[in-house]
DNA sequence: ATTAGTAAGGAAGGTCTACTAACAAACATG
DNA sequence: CATGTTTGTTAGTAGACCTTCCTTACTAAT
């Protein structure tokens, strides 16, 4: 069967009737109450990012009237999400403003990172991402339902460790996970077609959000990382290589919720081997020459073990070039301005990053490349946890 | 100045205060009337794609109540966008349904394609994309304001040729154009910082929408081309190479409204030259080895001129492979399921397309690659015009 | 023919949302 | 001290959708 024959889309013999017969996209009705929820999120968003403001400030920022904002704020205060903070100190003309602020330090979230194969890492965090307590749970090789049980126990443990009201639970896991927190497949945990978010929401009695770990990482970077308003791509380097893309404030999920799987793009093949280049190595995905065979932490550590700094830099630069090759078309096609790397700085934040940036710039339109920033993630080693927390902020409060 | 030093994003010395200080993204308030506009578009969308329906059908499809749908439909009928079509013929239990349908054949749009350097091509089309009349206007080398005048005259000419009410004017132009129809730069026409949509809307007295030609092409493919609901990328091959990407029903614009500039991704560089591969050729963008130096129509014609069919296929396959190299990372990162090529079938729809698809499949995760469809655009030679028409449908009626 | 059941479409009334208009409170300034 | 400015609230209005109930018109069964 040739590649041509297996192509699903092709020109039909007769031109199809235009404008009819296409499956309707899942568009949803919008009710006034949805509009209100949106405006409510707008107010929270402003308070989260800009800090305490007066109701009049919020009205100016959102475009709503002072009356409407007052109404929304009173609801938020009643819910305990917002508090009055007294009168604004600065003296200006007119009636002094009473500041209201989001109670980011009086509310907490539970965040869990499932990236590691050996143990689950969890934390209780404030809404600003400050870690209040940590817990871990060893998997001891458990998978499937047993792994779910370990996760649930860890969540209960963390909920008990929280000393403030918990807004929700956020979980970042490897694997393919849809927007409802349904795990399509997570081979490392032995999960297939598992409604994890729904299950835990029921069991724990409060909202649980689950998403792919690289995606949550990107969301966290977008929320906490001071990224510009447009678009953002985060490449996470760990056991494997993943990526998350945020465009227009929301995650790109892709047709099968598998967006970001950049680790298995081929960057070395036997036709490309040149002097000084590595041979294509077999990859866990069954093929060879994937980016992940060079850029994952095990691969980087193996390649740099026992080398001089100069040799190490050469190796890292070579990997950086491969990363740049894979990034250039993506940066061009999406006109991305911001790409960030997440992982150990000692491996990534040197020759590798420099060469990756140089490669992308050399291989894209000057206009695009010059605007590009390729930096390290602004989140520290708790980036995955911060991402899980951002997942709660986004899903629960509409704040990104 | 090294590449590293010019990186804008970097780790600040002290961790920044999280959750504050980030420039607020341009989020807008939502009023109940916006909700109504959305629901109105939902009804039109259904009627456009699914054909005539009863009010009860529309209520079921949208999730709104029959009362609300009846109200929306009566407004749409009053506006002349929708008409009652009598009773549904099929006999079922209950009161027979009266069908209502969008008046797609009783309304027209004016579409203009500015892709050609020598002349502007325009057409009057029905809402389903059927061409009613054509007009062209020679540019004779005019640029800047003179070219705008030619365009305006062509539009007036087309408006006069329309024999039904015209909903709006859609224009697809090369260059960087923002979402308001403001031309940031269109070097081929000598336009820089030109509010073209606003200008023509004022001059012509009806709504004018302007967007990049590759983007309109993608939108047209999405609207008229029977594409699946998820995502879509269209690669247009003409004088140059462009691309447009539709995700979640809306165009990807990118940070500087330059998304889709895939023609200037480097696919051949002097480090990559192997036996049988072309040398990197200089490109109009000032660099060398861009995809456009191989895949544009002039390049393809030059490469295949005077060759035997076998030689020609080999050349085209080689170009297809380069296209596949550029597409693979994009397909992986976005989990795209649908890529379509637009251009002369005799050049694209053979060895080139087959090799491009094979290359993408070989270089991406099996899960992603197998799902991928890489076909020809379902729009014919009027694809650019259909795209411009889709621009009007989308911008004016909310139908995509 | 008659009765029952089903579906379509419309009318009345209620709730929710955000708006405009007007006003009192509290302060800076001349 | 009078004046102007800004804040936040109260009261009233308009829009949008909902639920409920009704009429109309047909099919299916008796």
**What would the pLDDT profile of A111-139 be if each residue is shown by its tens digit?**
999 999 899 999 999 999 999 999 999 99
- Give the best residue of B334, B352, B353 to mutate against chain A (max A CB count within 10 A): B334
Q: Tell me the CA distances in angstroms from B349 to A15, A231, B219, B235, B244, one per residue in order.
A: 17, 34, 21, 13, 19
Residue among A397, A166, A371 at smallest CA distance from B19: A397
Give DSSP secondary structure letters for B337-399: -EEEEES-HHHHTTHHHHHHHHHHHHHS-HHHHHH-EEEE-SS-TTHHHHHHHHHHIIIII--
Domain A108-219+384-397 has CATH 3.40.50.2000: no
Residue A30's pLDDT is 86
Fold of A227-377: Nucleotidyltransferase; domain 5 (3.30.420)
Q: Is the pLDDT score of A13 beyond 70?
A: no
Q: Quick check: B368 and A261 CB within 8 A?
A: yes
Q: Is the pLDDT score of A335 beyond 50?
A: yes
* Average pLDDT over every residue of A231-249: 93
Contact residues, chain B, for A345 at CB < 8 Å: 11
Alpha-carbon distance of B252 to B303, in angstroms, equals: 33
Cα torsion through B285, B288, B294, B295, rounded to 10: -30
Q: Residue A25 is nearest to which of B104, B229, B378, comparing CB atoms?
A: B229
Residue A3's pLDDT is 34
Q: Which CATH number fits domain B32-87+97-102: 1.10.10.10, 3.40.190.10, 3.40.50.720, 3.40.50.300?
A: 1.10.10.10
Q: Residue A338 is nearest to which of B9, B233, B338, comparing CB atoms?
A: B9
Class of B228-377 in CATH: alpha beta
* Average pLDDT over every residue of A67-87: 94
Confidence of residue A382 (pLDDT cuts 50, 70, 90): confident
pLDDT in tens, chain B (400 residues): 333 333 333 323 333 334 444 545 557 888 888 988 999 999 999 999 999 999 999 998 999 999 999 999 998 999 999 999 988 777 677 788 899 999 999 999 999 999 988 999 999 999 999 999 999 999 999 999 999 999 999 999 999 999 999 999 999 999 999 999 999 999 989 999 999 999 999 999 999 999 999 999 999 999 998 767 678 999 999 989 999 999 988 899 998 899 999 999 999 876 655 545 567 888 888 888 999 999 999 999 999 998 999 999 999 999 999 999 999 999 999 999 999 999 999 999 999 999 999 999 999 998 888 889 999 999 878 889 999 999 999 999 999 8
Confidence of residue A195 (pLDDT cuts 50, 70, 90): very high
* Ramachandran region, residue B343 (left: φ > 0; alpha: ψ -120 to 50; beta: rest): left
Alpha-carbon distance of A212 to A242, in angstroms, equals: 9
* Ramachandran region, residue B352 (left: φ > 0; alpha: ψ -120 to 50; beta: rest): alpha
Q: Answer yes or no: is B281 CB < 7 A from strand D.
A: no
User: What pTM, to 2 d.p., does this model score?
Assistant: 0.89
Q: Answer yes or no: is B101 CB < 7 A from strand C.
A: no
Poorest-pLDDT segment among A3-12, A234-243, A265-274: A3-12
Residue A19's pLDDT is 42
Fold equal for B108-219+384-397 and B228-377: yes
User: Which of the 8 DSSP states describes residue A54?
Assistant: E
Nearest CA in chain A to B399: A19
Residue B94's pLDDT is 78
Q: Give the dihedral sign, CA B134/B138/B142/B145.
A: negative
pLDDT digits (tens, 9 = 90+) for B186-230: 998 999 999 999 999 999 999 999 999 999 999 999 999 876 767
Residue B250 neighbours by CB distance under 10 Å:
15
Q: Quick check: A23 and B228 CB within 8 A?
A: yes
Q: Is the pLDDT score of A90 beyond 90?
A: no
Residue B244's pLDDT is 96
Confidence of residue A218 (pLDDT cuts 50, 70, 90): very high
Domain ranges of chain A: 33-102, 108-219+384-397, 227-377
pLDDT digits (tens, 9 = 90+) for A16-65: 334 444 545 557 888 888 999 999 999 999 999 999 999 999 999 999 99
Q: Answer yes or no: is A65 CB < 7 A from strand C.
A: yes
Which residues in window 16-45 of A are less than 7 A from strand C by Cβ? 32-33, 35-36, 39
Q: Is the pLDDT score of A308 beyond 80?
A: yes
Confidence of residue A6 (pLDDT cuts 50, 70, 90): very low
Nearest CA distance, A203 vs chain B (angstrom)? 30
- Domain boundaries A33-102, corresponding CATH code: 1.10.10.10
């Amino acid at each position: 069967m040739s590649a041509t024959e297996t192509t699903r889309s092709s020109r039909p013999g007769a031109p199809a009737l235009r404008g009819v017969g296409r499956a309707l996209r899942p568009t949803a009705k919008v009710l006034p109450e949805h509009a209100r929820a949106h405006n409510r999120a707008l107010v929270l968003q402003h308070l989260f990012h800009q800090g305490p403001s007066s109701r009049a400030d919020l009205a100016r920022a959102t475009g709503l009237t002072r009356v409407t904002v007052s109404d929304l704020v009173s609801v938020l205060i009643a819910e305990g999400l917002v508090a009055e903070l007294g009168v604004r100190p600065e003296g200006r003309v007119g009636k002094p403003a009473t500041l209201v602020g989001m109670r980011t330090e009086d509310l907490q979230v539970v965040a869990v990172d499932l990236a590691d194969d050996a143990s689950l890492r969890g934390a209780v965090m404030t809404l600003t991402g400050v870690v209040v307590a940590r817990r871990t749970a060893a998997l001891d090789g458990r998978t499937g339902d047993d792994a779910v049980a370990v996760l649930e126990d860890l969540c209960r443990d963390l909920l008990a460790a929280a000393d403030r009201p918990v807004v929700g639970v956020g979980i970042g896991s490897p694997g393919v996970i849809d927007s409802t927190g349904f795990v399509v497949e997570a081979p490392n945990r032995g999960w297939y077609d598992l409604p994890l978010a729904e299950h835990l929401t029921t069991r724990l009695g409060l909202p649980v959000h689950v998403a792919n770990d690289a995606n949550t990482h990107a969301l966290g970077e977008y929320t906490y990382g001071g990224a510009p308003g447009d678009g953002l791509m985060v490449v996470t380097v760990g056991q494997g290589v993943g990526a998350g893309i945020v465009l227009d404030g929301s995650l790109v999920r892709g047709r099968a919720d598998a967006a970001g799987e950049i680790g298995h793009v081929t960057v070395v093949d036997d036709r490309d081997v040149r002097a000084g280049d590595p041979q294509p190595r077999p990859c866990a995905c069954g093929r060879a020459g994937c980016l992940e065979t060079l850029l994952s932490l095990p691969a980087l550590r193996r390649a740099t073990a026992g080398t001089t700094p100069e040799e190490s830099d050469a190796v890292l630069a070579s990997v950086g070039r491969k990363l740049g090759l894979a990034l250039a078309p993506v940066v061009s096609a999406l006109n991305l301005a911001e790409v960030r790397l997440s992982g150990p700085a000692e491996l990534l934040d040197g020759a590798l990053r420099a060469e990756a940036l140089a490669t992308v710039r050399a291989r894209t339109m000057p206009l695009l490349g010059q605007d590009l920033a390729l930096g390290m993630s602004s989140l520290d080693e708790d980036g995955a946890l911060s991402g899980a927390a951002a997942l709660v902020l986004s899903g629960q409060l509409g704040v990104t």
